[in-house]
Amino acid sequence: MAIENCSRCGVQLVVPQDAQTIRCAVCQAITRVHSYYPLAQARESATRFTSGLISMVSSNISGMTGSVSSSSYPVPGYGGYYAQPPIRPVLQLPLPSMHGRKRALLCGVSYRGKSYKIKGSINDVKCMRYFLVEKFGFPNDSILMLTEDETNPLKIPTKENIRLALRWLVQGCQPGDSLVFHFSGHGSKQLDYDMDEVDGFDETLCPLDYETRGMIVDDEINATIVRPLPQGATLHAIIDACYSQTVLDLPFVCRMNREGYYTWEDQTRSPYKGTSGGLAFCISACDDNQTSVDTTALAGNASTGALTYCFIQAVQNEPGLTYGRLLNSMRQVIRGAKTGGLRLNGPIAALVNKALFNTEITQVC
């Protein structure tokens, strides 16, 4: 079989003999087959030889360090096969207990050294981690945090690492599991070639290396962490990024006006992009045509994303609140910051200072 790279996302596709086009199983783009079959066969043979050699060396290294492994296998896709790259590092994190598990993936990308750097994204995930552990009892070893501060190369928020981490998040998911995906960084959008978006654009997340490796498209995020979600499992995504309203491609969108009245919009298109029976919620920073920023107006001298801070404060201050009440509470925090009527005090102040500065402060009730 021949090998072709997807014309959109660049992954390798195994092409059946005499096929003229092939659909990518990851991004659903249709790629025209340019190479001749005999040449593709030769290239595949060479690739297999090289992959085998690298795999053998990698296996020896893995046996010594116990931190990296590799695999290569075809996964059936729409009209073709998606060939995994020959070396796929696996995140070696201990899995939580088998039932009622809590697991979280927190990605904070600051894009250091770039003109578009963000100051508050790493602060966001630090606060979210502390919040999940202290407020909801998430085990520390069940939280995977990807930031540029990490020394482990597998925990740098590159495109490949975020993809691996998203797979880790839903790996072995069962009824009773509670999953959290938090992303603080840049978001963007691109033309939708699959005709499955109401506005004609795919929403994207920007990893650290998106300029060279590309962005992570909402279709892939949906296929990775939404569609596999089984009945009885729940996923909460908090996306503190621009153009993020439908970045999980969920079937329904809740719109709330300034008075607190809300309506539901049906975003259902073909193919179906709901879960496999579970519940998935996405709380996003803004609409698909809006931008968001980080600010010091909410957390004193520390920069944080507005969504992250408002979400934590709303949940911290009002236990057991409904989703509608959550959205209203978050709006009130934003309005308080705009009018200058917000002071950093109470439980949220203690949380921010502990998470970011590891200090205690006196709470003002």
Catalytic residues: 186, 242
Q: Which two tokens stand for residue 180?
A: 């959290």
Q: Which two tokens stand for residue 248?
A: 């999980």
Q: Are strands 252-256 and 262-266 parallel, antiparallel or unpaired?
A: antiparallel
Cα angle 86, 213, 87; round to 5: 15
**Helix (H) / strand (E) containing 82:** strand 81-83
Q: Are strands 294-295 and 304-305 parallel, antiparallel or unpaired?
A: antiparallel
The pair phi, psi for residue 217, each rounded to 5°, is: -85, 150
- Sorted by sequence, the CB contacts under 8 Å of residue 320 that are 6+ apart come out as none
Query: CA separation (Å) from 65 to 58, 62, 146, 165, 242?
Result: 10, 5, 21, 20, 39
The pair phi, psi for residue 326, each rounded to 5°, is: -60, -50
Looking at the DSSP assignment, which residues form a beta bridge with residue 238?
182, 283
- Sorted by sequence, the CB contacts under 8 Å of residue 49 that are 6+ apart come out as none
The sheet with strand 234-240 has its strands ordered as 143-146, 102-108, 178-184, 234-240, 279-284
135 in helix, strand or coil?
A: helix
